[in-house]
Structure 1
Amino acid sequence: MSSYILTFCVLFIVNFTWCFRLENKDRDTREHKIKWPTEFYLKGEEIKMKDSTLEKPFEMWYSASLKRSRVDHGAEKRYYYAPTDENDGTMYLIHPVTIDHDLTTGLSCSEDVYDKRGALLLPRLGKLQHVGNKTIDDHVVEILRSSKTIKDMKMNIEALVYWQDGYHIPVRITIQQYTNSRGSLDSVTISNYYNFKSKVDPSDLDVENEEADCSNATAIEGRSNYWDLNYNRTRDLAFKRFQNYHNVLYDVGEYEMRKAIFQDNLDKIIEHNKKNLSYKMEINQFADKTEEELKYLSGTWMSRDDHVPLPFPYTEAEIDEMVQALPDDFDLRLEGVISPVKNQDNCGSCWAFCSAASIGGSLARRNGGRDLALSEQSLIDCAWAYNLMGCDGGAVDDAMQYVMQHGIPVESEYGPYMAINGYCNLKNMSKLYIITGYGQVTPRSPNALKLALYKYGPVAAGVHVTSNMKFYSNGIFYDVDCDNKLQNHCVTVVGYGVRDGDTYWIVKNSWGEGWGEGGYILLSATNNNCLLNDIAYYSVI
């Protein structure tokens, strides 16, 4: 019989093509189980493409014999000391901070308990099929692939590796998630690796060699790091679908714990949706996390008493009269002055996102509607001397004070958001946007907030995040669990509307477009729900 070759090529929106070739010629179709080296050094970058593109360069060191590992993302370093019979495991986090108003840079060291055997750093990929070879940088590289489908969800894995001294050495790992029925690519993670070394210098895994003093390291606070729910399938299947959709891989000992957390959240969501209240909840990226692990989402602090913002320039009587001339529905997104929804990722930087969004929207209105994507990363890197703590939280009025003094650049010049604490690069910028001041909306006055939105632009406001809010899907959110609580998260109010006689606020969040209504939540204005109208600031340009 004559030989044949059949090629399937799938072109994805991320500018690369996978071609699956089926042929009756000789081919090594053995299953391979990846065997990573027990000691190594690697450089590379991880590129995540979902709601937006996030690119993180890294360096990593690993030694099984020393029971230590380390990974650097730019200027942020993590050392992992695995637990021993004598000591608990420890993770040390080192990153730069600015220590004065002249933006002088120093280093901070904090620690957290680490209870795993050691951060392996390279992913567990399971069994893969050999589909071919190619030559990259003088190495004969094996192309290994696997494809898993659970109902409507599919995950493709491609690993490019070469064999050296009894181990697989990674070159590139690509993980794709997509939905069959929509034919849509939902997310792609590409990890490129290079500069492999089979031995590491033990000094590179010793935190005592760092310039930062970790002998008295402080504990890390607040960080640790789609489907229809009306189905009659097992909860185990729901967890499998969650894993595949969100590209989650667990260590063997972690799997059962994550499944239990997920299933508790799933039960809670299903029970809520049965009540047919004003909003729905759904499984999202937070479903396998505990409340303690999600503390980084609550990175906003109460405003400080020593800051005196500009008072709202109208009395209550004037406000009530002026609001009569305002439209019943108002949405700044329709003016084209609101930047796209972003994702703060695993970093307590909501204060930076709401501040940048408020300032950027006000500047855009002043400049005739030209959208400005300001740099949240610059605030994280440079504003430490203003009582702001980068990925560990901050207060909006402190951020406003900082921008009044030093300004904020656009993201395209400063560099992309990295979700880590980095070195301040503000002095190399060609253009910095300064605000002349900031005002506080009259507390607990819905009419004042409407007027501020209409006259000044988007407003940065604190809210109290409840457990239900983390799983918000759609509808008008009202949660009595917000009562008698404190603000712990910052959002950007971009408009208001009325539905069935009830006023709501249109609120932009920083948890990615996959959360809520495309990254937004409609928050009820009734009874100052979730404290949104307690402390809210607008920019004065």
Structure 2
Amino acid sequence: MRAGRLFGVLIAAGLALVGPPLCRSVSSEETGRECNGSAAGLKPLRRQFHRPDEENSAESHRRLLGLQEAVKRHALLNSVSTTPQSAKYGFTQFSDLSQEEFKDLYLRASTDRAPLFSGLKIEGLPAKFDWRDKAVVAPVQNQQACGSCWAFSVIGAMQSVHAIGGSQLEQLSVQQVLDCSFRNEGCNGGSISKALSWLKQTRVKLVPQSEYPYKAKTGICHFFSPSHAGVALMNFTAHDFSGQEVAMMGELVQRGPLAVVVDAVSWQDYLGGIIQHHCSSQYSNHAVLVVGYDTTGDIPYWIVQNSWGATWGNEGYVYIKIGGNICGIADYVAAVFL
């Protein structure tokens, strides 16, 4: 069982033992008020995250139940997040969803397998490295209620490497990959490896997002002429860096931001801080972009860009402890070449 999964099993088992929601401080700086798990106590949260207020509707009742379950999860997750700089959990825009709804809507990346990394570690790595400091990482995007994380991860890596090569940083079209990557299933999910293989095989030129805007739903592929300007993938590598995260740091510095597949079930309630020891399922299910790392503090961590908007987590980012393959961050790591 990979590091962190044992804690996930304990968390899953512990949720059944947590009693009814109690009055407690809501772990949300924006809300900053007491909550007792009642419709009245949770109504401000529903307004904050733009949920319907029809208290007698079936939909509203279902959302209320989701928030009540979230209170239990927060208590348990925070009870095992007690070390310095630990992640904190509380109400997010996803907290009124059941865990099954959350997984079905947002965690649609297929699990990819990759060979173990067998290269050499790069010596003399900087203690801290962040591609954002070089202005080659695009702003955080929001996939909305579409299982398109796999496309955002691939696009994130390609547009950054394109900028590292000297071109102007430009948001490439996620929708183009979503619609046209025939080996994947659009908003119903997909695989980083299948998307990269498709891009390599077809040499499709990805156009700017302004030419092919994101719609958060799968559409009909729009084809462009071979002479149309765009960014094409030349090649990619994919490796399993579990047990070799220092080598993964070298890959990041040498190649650019990395597309990875992680286990993100516990991220439903993530507010910020460094995830140090637990995720809550046994399978990778979400694609993200690793843009940097920081080993200067007591807890070294990866800097990971997510695609759930800038209001989630650390302004759209999540920090994950380096070492122990937390959340499976080192299981599938892809670097692109243009």
Superposed CA deviations along residues 473-532 of structure 1, whole A, max 9, x for unmatched, are 11111243457x221110000000125433211000011111100100001123111111
User: 3-state DSSP class of the match of 2:50?
Assistant: coil
Relative distance call for 1:487 and 1:234 in structure 2 (3 A) is closer
Greater strand share, structure number: 1
Taking only aligned residues, the RMSD between alpha carbons, in angstroms, comes to 2.3
Which residue number in structure 1 is paired with residue 291 of structure 2?
494
Structure with the higher fraction of residues in helix conformation: 2
Cα deviation digits, residues 42-77 of structure 1 (max 9, x gap): xxxxxxxxxxxxxxxxxxxxxxxxxxxxxxxxxxxx
Q: Distance in 1 between matches of 2:52 and 2:153?
A: 31
Number of equivalent positions: 300
Which string of whole-angstrom CA distances, capped at 9 and with x for unpartnered residues, describes residues 366-388 of structure 1? 025x212011000111112xx21
The reply on whether 1:507 has 2:315 as its aligned counterpart is no
C-alpha distance 232-412 of structure 1, shift in aligned 2 (>3 A): closer
**Deviation at residue 538 of structure 1 after TM alignment:** 0.5
- Tell me if the contact between 2:262 and 2:284 (Cα under 8 Å) persists in the aligned partners: yes
Bigger radius of gyration: 1
8 Å contact from structure 2 (residues 47, 53) kept in 1:
no
1:262 aligned to 2:67? yes
Matched, 1:235 2:37: yes
Equivalent pair of 1:441/1:449 in contact (CA under 8 Å): no
State whether structure 2 residue 314 is matched by structure 1 residue 530.
no
Residues 431-488 of structure 1, C-alpha deviations (whole Å, 9 max, x = no match): 121121001245211122111111110000010112x3111111111243457x2211
For residues 404-451 of structure 1, the C-alpha deviation after alignment (integer angstroms, 9 at most, x for no partner) is 22131110122x210011111132582121121001245211122111
Structure 1 residues without counterparts, runs of 5 or longer: 1-225
Residue number in structure 1 paired with 2:229 = 431
Cα deviation per residue 1:163-182 (whole Å; 9 max; x = unaligned)? xxxxxxxxxxxxxxxxxxxx
Residue 206 of structure 2 is matched in structure 1 by 408
1:228 Cα shift? 5.7
For 1:269 and 1:510, how far apart are their aligned partners in 2? 22
Quote the residue 1:289 is aligned against. 97
Name the residue aligned to 2:191.
395
> Given that residues 131 and 291 in structure 2 are in contact (C-alpha distance below 8 angstroms), is that contact kept between their aligned partners in structure 1?
yes
Identify unmatched segments of 5+ residues in structure 2: 1-27
Query: How far apart, CA to CA, are the structure 2 residues paired with 1:238 and 1:430?
Result: 55
Quickly say closer, same or farther: Cα 1:304–1:455, change in 2 above 3 A: closer
- Calculate the TM-score normalised by the size of structure 1: 0.52
Alignment-derived partner of residue 273 in structure 1? 78
**Equivalent residue number for residue 32 of structure 1:** none
The letter of the residue matching 2:109 is T
Mapping for residues 42-441 of structure 1, pairs under 5 Å? 226-227=28-29, 231-236=33-38, 237-249=40-52, 252-273=57-78, 277=82, 278-294=86-102, 295-303=104-112, 315=119, 318-319=120-121, 322-323=122-123, 325-367=124-166, 370-384=168-182, 387-404=183-200, 405=202, 406-414=204-212, 416-427=213-224, 430-441=228-239
TM-score (norm 2): 0.82
Aligned letter for 1:393? G
1:520 to 296, 299, 317: 317
